[in-house]
Amino acid sequence: MTVLAEHHSDDAEHSFYVMHNRAVTWGIPWEPQLVALHLKRDPAACTYQFDHAELPLSSMAQSWLIARGCPEEKILLPDGMGTTAANDATRVLEQRLRSDGDHFALLTSYTHDSDPIQTTVMLRALDEKAAVPFRVLLEEVDSTAWTHTLREGGFVTFEAATQWWEAHWNGEVPPLPMASPATRPVTTVPGLPTRPAPPRGPSR
């Protein structure tokens, strides 16, 4: 594990970590490589417990920790740790992902960690009345400049989201449809039961 960001409460009872699990790259080739860890200590009993989540994007890991009491400004990745956002649109979307952790659930993700380095994430609205219930996030890394962009698309049906997913990982370049600004796209709820996950990308 490589610690990307960490914060410890003043009373030393809580520790929050965003970590990169380097072992994942040698395992199943689509799994999330980031781990959000919340460690809770009971000094009187001399015990501790922890909870964690495996998530595909650093902003999602940060959102998971923020929802558990970590101040947002304390868990941001420091300069030089990972890639930096290439534009304002990416920075704005990542801030939204960090700040709202209760609107969408994570259905599936795919992390391709060799050139071209890309991560796709599929989300589903927890609100059954959402006009655009499915979202796809696409993060692309420029390994030369060591920057990344993050974009978002909205889909009315699971089938439409899956068709985009298949086309993208088959080497086509379908545009991401605009997501409705009325519903803010965020998730920190892994593993919500749903229909079968969409097809995975190509093996590395």
pLDDT in tens, 76-121: 999 989 899 999 999 999 999 998 766 889 999 999 998 999 999 9
Tell me whether residue 198 is in a domain: no
Confidence check: pLDDT of 21 > 80: yes
* pLDDT of res. 191: 39
Q: Does residue 142 fall inside a structural domain? A: yes
Asked if pLDDT for residue 193 goes beyond 50, the answer is no
Distance CA 90, CA 139 (A): 9
Q: In this structure, is residue 203 part of a structural domain?
A: no
Rounded to 5°, the CA angle 170-171-172 comes to 100
Structural domain boundaries enclosing 174: 2-190
- Long-range CB pairs of 44-49 (<8 Å, 24+ gap) are none
